[in-house]
Structure 1
């Protein structure tokens, strides 16, 4: 894996080292920058630790660098940190510190410390490695906790006793899962056992902090790994009980349903190659969330989950609120896909009628492509012939959608006859009759009984109004 000198080829590092030498302090690049250099991952954030000069030592070096490169320095005196941009780099400075914790808080008591104190307070060994920046140790790797060996073994391990690390700051349990998922590493067995032992401590962590880590898991190449680790560690049932309830299989008279948790994780991984869209990934994770509440045994057909898409879509706002996800159009998008996720599957099982496709286009609108992607990801059968048959049927549904969309322009359509036109024509106020006529015109268009055109819709309005005993208002 080579030494760190190539990592420090940017003149910025020599400049920081020179300022540190002039001020009689030591400077080190530490953490993610060092880790990502060896993993050959892109990284534009640099954390610099300054040893000596007290807790404000980092701020003093940052301010001097800011003057030299003419860049604004943001100082956070309460935390003893300072941050500035230099070219492509976002550089954060901090004084080396020792931390101690009280049991009821994840806010540490901070004191000045040595370099080893600072490395000891890091979450994982792979994040505790540092490069020296002073003239006498420039580019030297400082790795007291064998982070390099853990990188080569692809292990997530804590520098100190893991029970102390996780009890001090329980967010680190979630971060362990996040790094294991992002980097495809393994959590070392003693570290993982400590997560299980300390899992209840997660309750003191704010949901916003957990949500930020979960987002990184959801954006990773195989997000199922993170959810599986959350489950095995016992964290899942504590912060996401609705997902945990998907687990397990019931059997009656020798007939079992599939494990919906395992199925859900397969759907999530299936969608990843087709979707950078974070919210489509969330729709995949939550598409069957209503199944535990709708599970029933039917003597004739076995296990059923009738209406789970309706129940699931109603659960989405509560889940988003609880998980501190955005309560805006993104939530409504996930809710809509959960509600509609069975529609193309039902279509592909039956004969594909024009009117069913029109209704799908009308209800899904611009999200119809994402809905089809979700449905294709939802086919997780081990039976290859069944998968091939479903995918062929979906291809037929897609073809039919294209034909009908070109012919009828149904996607996001508004029926040509509005409530205002009906009220004006017949001189009536807003009432149930207006709604009935509007709905019947909409259905006639979706069912292909009349074209999606003004004249045809107007003629149908006249017919329906006459049946309701309405007469046109005199002009």
Structure 2
């Protein structure tokens, strides 16, 4: 079995000095488990490292030209220096040097909490920039002026703030703000990866606030528009849409670790800046849920997210008021209405988003954690077995062809009417569906 011990032993026998570096060191100090590990190897060439590790398994040269090999979930690299040659995230010349000191190699890293190492020969913690103390004090501090060379580090600062409940050091905050002009040079894919890490935190609101403090919120105008967008204090005593959204995303994270749920919670009120008006002395945002579809798509596209994911999120935004609306008239809500809703959106997910929306405010009911509407709708949908998706059509084209129906445009129209009838509860089995068709054949042909 490949382990840190087996890898380090092979490297030591070859004359190398392996050091565990990066996030796995930070995670050890926090008492959390790491899935991936980074090792830096001193006093060996990349070819010597490759020869030493070959007996352990297949090596992948993910970046052999700048001294990086991959063995399962271990990245093994040589110490290196990086020199800025142009603008943006990629304008660097990388040079490996196995004779560098650990401090020299670590000086290229972004934050002190990521610039620690564990000497795998002695077990000593190597911490030339005070990362352990910063971690204990909850401070996110840059390592050196090399921080200024990579604008991606601004987004990394924001996601680390959220994931580890850190406060950005005042000098680091200034450096982040000074990099704002270069943020637009970042690839959408890299922006999306950092944002997903931010949303993986227990309290993404901390990272979103950091985006605002650093100025990086300029990358996301759909979110920035929520700031100072007013709300009716009767329903939202907590403040503007930005404050409400921060509360909602944190509530969503208590309910689910699904990226779909978290994105929908974040985007649920993106339609409010466009629709909010003062009417009869009160702030109203009529149809903001449907108006939210466009800014949600624009925002998620900025993150280079998949079309499948975007199509999951948008209906949750468009329908997020539905649990509350249906609950108010629950005595009049038919099974057909719930079945139809299930054809548009995953009701189970919708109830989670709606619950987060309800709890993400400072009303008395929210403080008590009381949200009967989402629980009621979910129970109704579960009873009808449509809580995760709409009912599958019972009557299919092949069934009609088997009884002599001719293929053509009329077939599609009949099947559409049959599905509508199924949603209305006209039939629930194939035999019933065929009987319905025979009884309705004359009217369907019109």
Fold match by TM threshold 0.5: yes
8 Å contact kept, 2:88–2:186 = no
Alignment equivalent of 1:80, drawn from 67, 71, 75: 67
1:116 aligns with 2:111: no
Query: 1:70 corresponds to which residue?
Result: 56
TM-score, normalising length from structure 2? Answer: 0.84
1:143 aligns with 2:127: yes
Q: Give 1:205 deviation, angstroms.
A: 1.5
Report the secondary structure of 1:98's partner residue.
strand
Aligned equivalents of 1:255, 1:369: Cα separation in 2: 24
1:222/1:313 Cα in 2 relative to 1: closer, same or farther (>3 Å)? same
Alignment equivalent of 2:118, drawn from 121, 128, 131: 131
8 Å contact kept, 1:419–1:434 = no
Q: Give 1:381 deviation, angstroms.
A: 3.7
Alignment equivalent of 1:362, drawn from 340, 346, 351: 340
Alignment equivalent of 1:308, drawn from 266, 288, 304: 288
Q: Give 1:394 deviation, angstroms.
A: 3.4
Query: 2:302 corresponds to which residue?
Result: 322
What RMSD in Å do the two structures reach over aligned CA positions? 3.5
Q: Give 1:36 deviation, angstroms.
A: 1.8
How do 1:352-391 and structure 2 match up within 5 A?
A: 352-355=331-334, 357-365=335-343, 367-379=346-358, 380-385=360-365, 391=371
Aligned equivalents of 1:31, 1:413: Cα separation in 2: 49
Bigger-Rg structure (1/2): 1
Report the secondary structure of 1:378's partner residue.
helix
Q: Give 1:256 deviation, angstroms.
A: 9.1
TM-score, normalising length from structure 1? Answer: 0.79
Aligned equivalents of 2:93, 2:408: Cα separation in 1: 69
Q: Which runs of 5+ in 2 are unaligned?
A: none
Query: 1:154 corresponds to which residue?
Result: 138
Report the secondary structure of 2:292's partner residue.
helix
How do 1:362-441 and structure 2 match up within 5 A?
A: 362-365=340-343, 367-379=346-358, 380-385=360-365, 391-405=371-385, 411-414=390-393, 416=395, 430=409, 435=413
Aligned equivalents of 2:444, 2:104: Cα separation in 1: 83
Query: 1:34 corresponds to which residue?
Result: 25
Query: 1:102 corresponds to which residue?
Result: 85
1:386/1:109 Cα in 2 relative to 1: closer, same or farther (>3 Å)? closer
> In the TM superposition, what whole-angstrom CA distance separates every residue of 1:5-57 from its partner, at most 9, and x where no partner exists?
xxx98354344233235xxxx4432222322221112124332323445xxx2
1:377/1:127 Cα in 2 relative to 1: closer, same or farther (>3 Å)? same
> In the TM superposition, what whole-angstrom CA distance separates every residue of 1:238-297 from its partner, at most 9, and x where no partner exists?
x21111111113489x99995112212222211223212211211111122222122233
Aligned equivalents of 1:251, 1:43: Cα separation in 2: 42
1:256/1:269 Cα in 2 relative to 1: closer, same or farther (>3 Å)? closer
Report the secondary structure of 1:109's partner residue.
strand
Aligned equivalents of 1:427, 1:454: Cα separation in 2: 18
Aligned equivalents of 2:350, 2:35: Cα separation in 1: 36
Q: Give 1:438 deviation, angstroms.
A: 6.3
How do 1:234-249 and structure 2 match up within 5 A?
A: 234-237=215-218, 239-249=219-229
Alignment equivalent of 1:454, drawn from 393, 416, 433: 433
Aligned equivalents of 2:244, 2:36: Cα separation in 1: 37
Q: Which runs of 5+ in 1 are unaligned?
A: 1-7, 469-475
